[in-house]
Structures are given as C-alpha cells and as structure tokens.
Structure 1
Amino acid sequence: MNPFDATGFVGSAGLIGLLVLLFIETGLLVGFIFPGDSLLFAAGLFAAQPQPFAPLWLLLIALPVASIAGDQCGYLIGKHLGPRALQTRMMRFIGDEPVRRTNRFFDRYGPVTVVFARFIGIVRTLVPLMAGLSRMDRARFTIYSVLGSILWCSSLLTLGYFLGGVPMLRDNLELLFIGSALSVVIPMAITLARGRRSRAAQKDG
C-alpha cells in the first residue's frame, strides 16, 4: 500500500481521526500539542487528489462541527471546574505565558477573541476554557464559536484543496506529509524541553 495515497493513507478512518483530533484540540487541554492548521490544510490537499479520502463538501460540514463540539466541551470544563481548571497538571505543563496571552486577547478583543483564537495555536485550546471560567454567556460564546470554526476550517481546507491541484505540490505529497509530521514532533519536543527546564528551575529555587 502506498502510504501517501489518499485512500490508503487516510481512508474512511482518516476522517474519523480528523474529527477526533479537532475535538480534542479545542475541547481538552492535551489538544494543544496538535497542529490543527496543518491538519486542515493537509485534509484539503488530500481531498483534491484523484481518489480523495472524503469530498470537500463533507469536510466543510463535518470538521467545523467537530471544532464547535470541542469548544462546548472546553467551555463546560472551565465553567464547572472554575479556578481549579487552572491548577491541573496539564495547565502547569502548558505554563503561565499562554494563559496570560489568552487573557490579553480577551482584554483587547472581548468575545471576538473566540473567533480570532482559531488561527492561533495553543490559544484556541485555552479560549473555550477561559470563556467558561469567566462565565461568558453561553449563547454568545456559541455564536462566536460557530463563526470562528467555519472561518478557520473553510479557509484552510479550501486553501489546501486548491493548492492540491497544483502539479508540483500534488507530485510531492511525501514532502508535505513529512513537513506536517515535523510540525507535530518539533513543537511537542520544544514544549517537553521547556517543561523540564521549568520544573528543574523550580526545584533549584
């Protein structure tokens, strides 16, 4: 099996995997390690191939729904756990700076942050949690969540889809796949290294 063939590499299980990853990235703190932007772009690329793993129209419907559902999960976690949500082991692993950055976005843009955050790694994972923690009106949060999810997913999917029709890119999917894999591994390694240095500094202090 050619691992880079759309049907062989992704297949029907690939769509399910994308749905799960988008839900986790926006709904659970552990999802900050996933590069949602790269995943959406890659999904558009594969959808443009002669034998797509899923049609573009289905991706444009299903993936925003998974993202919206993840938002709702993150919001409920923040709302029901309250300040305890900021004291979990995963939050200590993420560190204080992403939280401060998210708060600065809320201070500057207010609820519209829910839309903007979609395009910023880690922040899009923290925003639903912080929205629930701050008791943002759920109906208002949902409206911005739906808008942001549709803009985020549709823009990256369609960009990947149309670029997938470019012969040079279509003939070098192997390189694109390697680049996508590195975009997962490298940030994860950097985060692990920072977490270890932070813990070591705390012990020394």
Structure 2
Amino acid sequence: MKEILEIVDMLFNSEAIIAKGGLMLVAMIVFAETGLFFCFWLPGDYLLFLAGMLCGTGTFDVNIAALVGYIFAAAILGNYMGYWFGLKVGGKLYQRPDSLFFKRKYLASTREFFDKYGGKTIVIARFLPIVRTFAPILAGTSHMTFMAFSLYNFIGATFWVGGLVLGGYYLGVQYPQIINYVHWIIVFFLSITTFTVVKSYLKIRESHKKNQPANVSK
C-alpha cells in the first residue's frame, strides 16, 4: 500500500516525474493525459515547462532535441488515441455516470468550445487543462475527418510543445538561478489550471440554470 501511495504522489509531482522517471515517463504522462479520458488529472502544462527548464539548467540530463521529439510524438499519439476512442465508443461517455475520474460536465465544457471554435478547438484545447483530454474524443465522436483532425493535431502539438518546452529551456539556459523558484512556477501553473476549471464549471452551471425553465415549460 505504501508503494502505491508513493507512485500516486509522484504522478502529481512533476519534479519527481522528471527526476525519477526520466524522459520515458515524461512522454508516457503526456500520452496518457492527452489520450485517455480518465487521466485528465495528470500534470500537463507545467510538466512540459519544468522539463524544458530543468533541461536548460542541466538538472535534467537529456538532449533538448530528444526531449522535444519524445514529448511531441507523445502529444500527437495521445490525441490520436483520444480520436480513435471517440470514433469507437465516445458516444457512450454521455451515458456514463459521474465518478472520481470522470464528470459529464467536462464533456459539456469541451462541447462549448467545439460549438464556438469548431475544429480549431483541437489547437486551442492544448493549452486548456481537462479540455485537451476530451477535445480529441469529441472530435472522434463528431466524426471529424481524419485529415482535418491530423492537421489540427500537428499544429496544436507544435505550439504547445514548442512554446512550453522551449520556453522553459530558454529560461533555464539564460537564468539558471530560476531553479530556486520551481515551486513558485508550479503554483503559478496550478493557479491557472484551477481558474480555468472553476470558470468552465461556473459557466456550465449558469447555462444549465438558464435552460432549466425552458425545459420545464415544455
């Protein structure tokens, strides 16, 4: 039991993922978070940023080209996994009851992005926690063409991986003392994540309340 708790704790700790798991575990986390609906809780943005930053400071002993390549491949393949899942069984998620690792409000939030931005949601979702996990699934459920999805998938992964990993790497090279402020960086990313999730939840709840009287009248 103690070993299981340690593993779970490490999965929530980006520094531990990078230090103990190395490049392969980082890539596996990215794949899971972008491709498996029950892994939406895994670290995404700040894992990429910290990996790049620690690579730049030399703390993470890996070539930057290999780091970008592995994470880029994992992000691409993860979205393809989500797309395939959406094509095959994604519709059943709407009937799935809420649980610890799944909430139907996540689908509703992602659906709002699709209604507003269409296929570009795949690109935008890369930078939005939770939404990036469910966006490829909804793309598959909506039967977006494979070619269109692939285009958005590659564009989104390029900006997401390039921006966060290379941005972190640049800061690590130019300002190696930034390593002393890792925890503040994590707090910053977690604050953005929390704000995004809470904002989406409140928006969905408000929309539901507005639609409730109309549904009752019918």
- Name the TM tier (shorter chain): 0.7 to 0.9
Task: Give the aligned partner of residue 123 of structure 2.
Answer: 115
Identity of aligned residues (%): 32
Task: Give the aligned partner of residue 63 of structure 2.
Answer: 55
Normalising by structure 1, we get a TM-score of 0.76
1:135 to 2:143 alignment: yes
Structure 1 segments of 4 or more deviating over 4 A? 89-93
1:168 to 2:165 alignment: no
1:55-101 CA-to-partner distances (Å, cap 9, x unmatched) read: 11112211111011011111111111142133335678532332222
Whichever residue aligns with residue 134 of structure 2, its letter is L
Task: Give the aligned partner of residue 67 of structure 1.
Answer: 75
Note the C-alpha offset of 1:168: 3.2
Task: Give the aligned partner of residue 25 of structure 1.
Answer: 33
Aligned pair in 2 of structure 1 residues 69, 47: CA closer, same or farther (>3 Å)?
same
- Contact 2:26–2:71 under 8 Å retained in 1: yes
Task: Give the aligned partner of residue 104 of structure 2.
Answer: 96
How many equivalent pairs are there? Answer: 179
Task: Give the aligned partner of residue 37 of structure 1.
Answer: 45
Note the C-alpha offset of 1:176: 5.3
- Contact 1:29–1:90 under 8 Å retained in 2: no
Whichever residue aligns with residue 33 of structure 1, its letter is W
Task: Give the aligned partner of residue 201 of structure 1.
Answer: none
Whichever residue aligns with residue 10 of structure 1, its letter is I
- Contact 2:35–2:82 under 8 Å retained in 1: yes
Aligned pair in 2 of structure 1 residues 137, 151: CA closer, same or farther (>3 Å)?
same
1:20-44 CA-to-partner distances (Å, cap 9, x unmatched) read: 1111011101221012101000101
| Distance in 2 of aligned mates of 1:158 and 1:86 | 37
- Contact 1:78–1:85 under 8 Å retained in 2: no
Aligned pair in 2 of structure 1 residues 167, 98: CA closer, same or farther (>3 Å)?
same
1:85 to 2:93 alignment: yes
Whichever residue aligns with residue 118 of structure 1, its letter is R
| Distance in 2 of aligned mates of 1:51 and 1:26 | 26
Alpha-carbon RMSD across the aligned residues, in angstroms, is: 2.9
| Distance in 2 of aligned mates of 1:48 and 1:93 | 34
1:147 to 2:132 alignment: no
Note the C-alpha offset of 1:132: 0.6
| Distance in 2 of aligned mates of 1:133 and 1:91 | 21
